[in-house]
Homo-oligomer: A and B are copies of this chain.
Amino acid sequence: MKTLNIGIIGAGRIGMQHADNLLRHSQVKLKAVSDIQPEAIREWSKSVNISTITTDSGQLLQDPQIDAIFICSSTDTHVDFIIEAAKAGKHIFCEKPISFDLRKTEQALEIVKRSGIKMQVGFNRRFDHNFMKVRRLIEEGAIGKPHIVKLISRDPSPPSYDYIKVSGGLLFDMAIHDFDMARFLSGSEVEEVFVKGAVLVDPKIGELGDIDTAVTTLKFKDGTLGIIENSRLAAYGYDQRVEVFGSAGTANTYNDTESTAEWSTAKGVFREKPKHFFLERYQQSYVREVDTFIDCVLNDKPVPVDGYDAYMAEVIAAAAKKSLIDNAPVLIEDIRKLLPSV
């Protein structure tokens, strides 16, 4: 049985999630992890038998035994690591977004393309059981041609102000998942975007130049319309639902819960709240996306979500930001015109 030697750059929350899933994979050897604060994972690394823990990501990128690199560090480092890894001939799994700077994303993609390695991007929600089911229903024709694609994406609580300052804002750090999901579900490319944003959750978020609530209208090339709703604060927890309405029907998903229990008392009828946050809600999707990447590398298949998908989500986010500022619909084409073609 073929196995893959893997190194992880960045051992934060998402890096550790991938580490866990890689450790359970029978065809993977997790060989090395680099992080700027390696002390936090020193003990853990021993318990799970990882030989190399380092602050020096270069050590991983130059290790000839390592076949693939997971890039889980902060967004501003992604492009450099992609370029280095690609040049070293290593396959890449990179967290989203690749960059806030579309030109840099394009440069990275160019080098990935030339090097012939595989690069999968961390749009894990494409591997979610609920959203996959909706996509399958569409592909089977159960609901006909999509007319309206709708996404609800609300977080249980806002991130820290420090995060908001560097994250690129709601449209780049949060809605970017939804821009990708809209493309995935509709099976079409976005043509135009209009964003109405508001600061309703916390005025300080507004002072930092961001919004905390947004309603985005999309128009796709095949005529489908789209609606994305984002909020930084859903008091009842992480709300992640989609609906695709089509010519022959509609498909809705509901939130996942810890149990199916429903209980009734003199006070009312109760159900469980949604699963807490992304690590709980999307746990299975992280397993599937990693399994898929391993399978694609080992068996030389095309990855199902690649650099182009990352790029397009970033383009839509840029258009969305412009629309928010201009209070006007923005054509995707007008954003891409500013850029060299990919």
Contact = CB atoms under 8 A, between A and B. Distances in A.
Contacts of A24: 24
A211 B260 CA distance: 30
A252 B262 contact: yes
B254 A260 contact: yes
Interface stretch (A94-102, A164-172, A179-187, A242-250): A242-250
Given A273-B264, A329-B327, A217 B194 contact: yes
Nearest to A225: B215
A77 B196 CA distance: 38
Number of copies: 4
Contacts of A329: 194, 196, 327-328
A144 B249 contact: no
A338 interface: no
Contacts of A132: 259
A143 B268 CA distance: 12
Interface residues of A, number: 72
Between A26, A47, A268, A329, the greatest number of chain B beta carbons within 10 A of the residue's beta carbon is seen for A268
Interface stretch (A68-76, A109-117, A228-236, A302-310): A228-236
A147 B231 contact: yes
A213 B225 contact: yes
14 contacts: A1-B47, A26-B47, A129-B258, A133-B258, A148-B215, A148-B229, A201-B247, A215-B225, A235-B265, A250-B263, A255-B260, A268-B271, A269-B272, A271-B271
